[in-house]
Structure 1
Amino acid sequence: MWCDRLVRGLDQHEFEVYALSRSPRQASGGFMELPGAVRRVRTAPLWGEVAGTPRRGRESYGRRERRRFAECFGELAAAISAPGGPGSPVAPAVPASLDAPAAPAVPEPDRAEWAGGTDSTGYADGRQADRFASGLYGLADLAREHGGLPAALRSETAVRALERACHTPGALHGAHQARVADLLTLAGALERALRPLSLDWYGEGHGEGPGATAGPGLSGVDLCHAASAGPAALPGLLARRFFGTPLLVTEYGVRLREYYLASAARPAAPRSAAHSGPVRTLLASFQGRLAAEAYARAALVTPGNTHVRRWQERCGAAPERLRTVYPGMDASRFAEVGERGAGGAGRAG
């Protein structure tokens, strides 16, 4: 895989690996033997319960923190319940297959319309992107300063914020149909996806998480290289916000497309294993908003093929920051990138 080739092929650099697991099976798979250039490996699960978080936990916040959480999460909830999210035109034509993006029912907007402004074509406007970013980074700041975010994301405050957003006039059609059980499921899914906001990866003394070890974490790296624009990009986005660290996103598959494919298969799954329609709709919107934020903040986005590139552009990635890098290329030409004559090895997270 490409990250293995990086850590083995660029041995003049030092690497720190920060990995998120999606399931117990993936987490129990163990590690392959790593080269000496990898100085640290940190892992965290996006499944199960957070250690120390009550199953029906209330926020451990005072009045001021509760109000701050309600404002930030309310912004994020409003953004994901708004129609016309990245990658999802309001009235798409039915795709010939799930292997290709749906053709828009209207002409695709130019870059200015992708980036912001009120858009009559039905695509996301800049206001909703700003609301999503404001809510996301507000929650990150709250977690960094006070901890307690996992419990807050599963609290009654969070569920009520989702309920208000879903029942707001003009919200996504599927969101209007969300029931209490759907909102509880959605809150749990968002808590798991947003766990990177609460990790202790960003510098000594910040965040919360089991198995913490002393060290600068992402505050001491020169570059963050994310394997996708989904939750895996969150540590890089926060390092950029907290420390100004540049972010590079490489994708050989698009997280939003993967979510659509998985959602299409779930109706055939047992009822206990399938999310309802409203939950699938809102989680797809969340994935789209998060991908758009990652593409907007990344210094460079490197798709693995033109199909991935089209999806990234559909989600708002700026063409001038896209560089297609096909897998299987000889990496020797990149062996001396960045540090020639600099008198020291950099570190990448």
Structure 2
Amino acid sequence: MRVALLTEGARPHARRGAGGWCERLAEGLPEHGFELYLLTGPEAGRAPGTAQRPSSVWRGTHELAPWGRRPGGRAPGAVRRRRYAGAYEQLVRALLLPVERAGFGPGLYRLAALAREDGALPAFLASAHARRLLERTWRLPGADTSARQPLVCDVLVAADLLEQCLRPLSAPWYGTGPGGLGAADLCHVVGGGPAALPALVARQLHGVPFVVTEHGLHLREQYLGYREAPYRWPVRALLLSFFRALTGETYRQAAILTPGSAHDQQWQRHCGADPARTRVVHEGTPVVDRPAAGPEPAAPTLVWAGTLEPGRDPELALHALARVRAELPGARLVVYGEEAVPGYRAHCAAVAERLGVAPAVDFAGRSGSLPGAWESGTVAVFSGLSQRSPRLLADAMLSGRAVVSTDVGVAREVVGPTGLLVPARDPRALAGACLALLRDEERRARLGLAGRLRAQERFAVEPVIGAFREIYLELVSQYPAFPGGGGGGEGGPGPRPFARPAEYWLAEGPRGGGDDTPREGTADPDGVREPAGRRRAELAEAL
């Protein structure tokens, strides 16, 4: 089948991308044909558009630059401008007026239909007419402005940001021709957010189902990122309202949601996801087969890795070290990571000096490799106030070192019974857990081996590939098929369930032909071409 993989390559606030996960998925499912649709900025020296990536796993690659300079194009005429204004006003009112939240989806799809007709959506969104409409709606009684009135500069900034967020609606990807999402059997959105806009439009126009995979929730990242965004509160409130409405619409329309952890699954349910359409698929990593860490260091050493920021709470590890050294004077702490908050490393060094453990603390900066970081310690320590992603925990477990972590986020789900969990912001409990492991070599080895086996079982690539193979086949069996890419949208012929015969999927290779029409016959061993009708009758009789 043809799978359209939609993801983001870059964002101004949250770093995401196709990365290796998408390529591993395509390589693990060679029986399907994958096309990559990437939202990213233009590469240096090359204009944005459609380009072929060097990787051979993609049947084609299509790129769109949603961030940066607006693409050229003529503004719509007076009649078309009124239609654009009506759809845009419906969408903006849904973002700003709580009583009209239900208008977000209809307004979004109306804008997409208009953009597909003339491609003038970016020009309209950047026009003075759209800015006046936004300002008028923003100043209505009851509008959500986060307790501050928008200024003229806020209107200009918000209009520009909304144009960038809605730019995927005008992408040249909608249709049933080559490279069109209407010719795909299903869409797979990786990361959520604006990358889901093309899938929503394809679902509306052509009935193409889509799957959403989130390794770390996009909406949660936006809430965290916009805390430090250089915008006033009215702009932040408007943009967060957009992402909140987009997330809700995506969760409602998605055929299946595949969060990367049960912790993310709970967040998705809180945002309106249907539990019956939600399945946890852990993010596989190809390093599960790497060798375990070598011999332990001579001195009892705690190793801490992560970003130096208050949310990771390295100060808790420093306070715990002070308690550990009261009973094990030779204990040390190695801290790997770069500071995310200016001056925070110096603050942590001052805390270590005040606690009297500065000579036993090594701020090693960024580690050249995580396996080397874990090998330099006896016990791996995680002291964060939140643990949103299982990646770092799983990497520490794969090293074979025993793990002590605060019981937050995904820690309990990832570590399970193979490590020690302690309450957050409790230096006495963290120190007690570290002492228990530093004093018991046999227990460290047992927990380290159990953690490594648990991580290898849960985060191997093969279970991930198998899960999505089943999901793809399940969706194809439940949703109508569209021969030749034709769909039931826009007044076309109605969908016919199971319109493609079973032998179509056997005769059509994942890379071969590039044609989406069933073959009328195949050659038997004697070179005689057998009619497709006879094969279908024999197949039906056999079944």
TM range (shorter): 0.7 to 0.9
Confirm whether residue 45 of structure 1 aligns to residue 65 of structure 2.
yes
SS across alignment from 2:227: helix
Confirm whether residue 71 of structure 1 aligns to residue 86 of structure 2.
yes
Q: Deviations over 1:203-259 (max 9, x none)?
A: 27xxxxxxxxx7242121101001133100011111111111001111012121111
**Contact 1:229–1:295 under 8 Å retained in 2:** no
* TM-score normalised over the length of structure 1: 0.73
Higher RCO (C-alpha 8 Å, min separation 6) = 1
Tell me the residue number matched to 2:32: 13
Identify if the C-alpha distance between structure 1 residues 320 and 183 changes in structure 2 by more than 3 Å, giving closer, same or farther. Answer: same
2:279 to 300, 323, 331: 323
Tell me the residue number matched to 2:532: none
1:302 is matched by which residue type in structure 2? Answer: T
Distance apart, 1:24 and its partner CA: 6.3
Instruction: For 1:236-247, list aligned pairs within 5 A.
Output: 236-247=199-210
1:65 is matched by which residue type in structure 2? Answer: R
Mark the runs of 5 or more structure 1 residues left unpaired by the alignment: 54-58, 84-124, 205-213, 267-273
2:244 is matched by which residue type in structure 1? Answer: G
Q: Deviations over 1:270-295 (max 9, x none)?
A: xxxx1111111110000000111111
Distance apart, 1:178 and its partner CA: 0.8
Q: Deviations over 1:283-316 (max 9, x none)?
A: 0000000111111111111110122222222221
**Contact 1:249–1:301 under 8 Å retained in 2:** yes
2:466 to 333, 337, 340: 333
Tell me the residue number matched to 2:442: none
2 CA distance for matches of 1:23 and 1:79?
Answer: 32
**Contact 1:166–1:175 under 8 Å retained in 2:** no
2 CA distance for matches of 1:63 and 1:223?
Answer: 37
Distance apart, 1:4 and its partner CA: 1.7
1 CA distance for matches of 2:510 and 2:107?
Answer: 32
**Contact 1:304–1:325 under 8 Å retained in 2:** yes
Q: Which moved more, 1:327-336 or 1:225-234?
A: 327-336
Q: Which moved more, 1:338-347 or 1:177-186?
A: 338-347
**Contact 2:189–2:211 under 8 Å retained in 1:** yes
SS across alignment from 1:171: coil
- Indicate the percent of aligned positions where both proteins have the same amino acid: 42
**Contact 1:167–1:175 under 8 Å retained in 2:** no
Identify if the C-alpha distance between structure 1 residues 345 and 294 changes in structure 2 by more than 3 Å, giving closer, same or farther. Answer: farther
**Contact 2:91–2:104 under 8 Å retained in 1:** yes
**Contact 1:222–1:346 under 8 Å retained in 2:** no
1 CA distance for matches of 2:468 and 2:159?
Answer: 45
SS across alignment from 2:146: helix
1:311 to 244, 259, 267: 267
Identify if the C-alpha distance between structure 1 residues 216 and 42 changes in structure 2 by more than 3 Å, giving closer, same or farther. Answer: closer
1:262 is matched by which residue type in structure 2? Answer: G
Segments ≥4 residues shifted beyond 6 Å: none
Tell me the residue number matched to 1:277: 233
Distance apart, 1:33 and its partner CA: 4.4
* TM-score normalised over the length of structure 2: 0.48
**Contact 2:115–2:121 under 8 Å retained in 1:** yes
Mark the runs of 5 or more structure 2 residues left unpaired by the alignment: 1-19, 285-459, 477-501, 512-543
Tell me the residue number matched to 2:165: 193
- Equivalent pairs, count: 280
Instruction: For 1:1-349, list aligned pairs within 5 A.
Output: 1-21=20-40, 33-36=54-57, 38-53=58-73, 60-83=75-98, 127-129=100-102, 131-174=103-146, 177-203=149-175, 215-266=178-229, 274-328=230-284, 329=460, 330-331=462-463, 333-334=466-467, 337=470, 338=473, 342-343=505-506, 344-345=508-509
SS across alignment from 2:221: helix
Identify if the C-alpha distance between structure 1 residues 166 and 262 changes in structure 2 by more than 3 Å, giving closer, same or farther. Answer: same
1 CA distance for matches of 2:283 and 2:77?
Answer: 50
Distance apart, 1:6 and its partner CA: 1.1
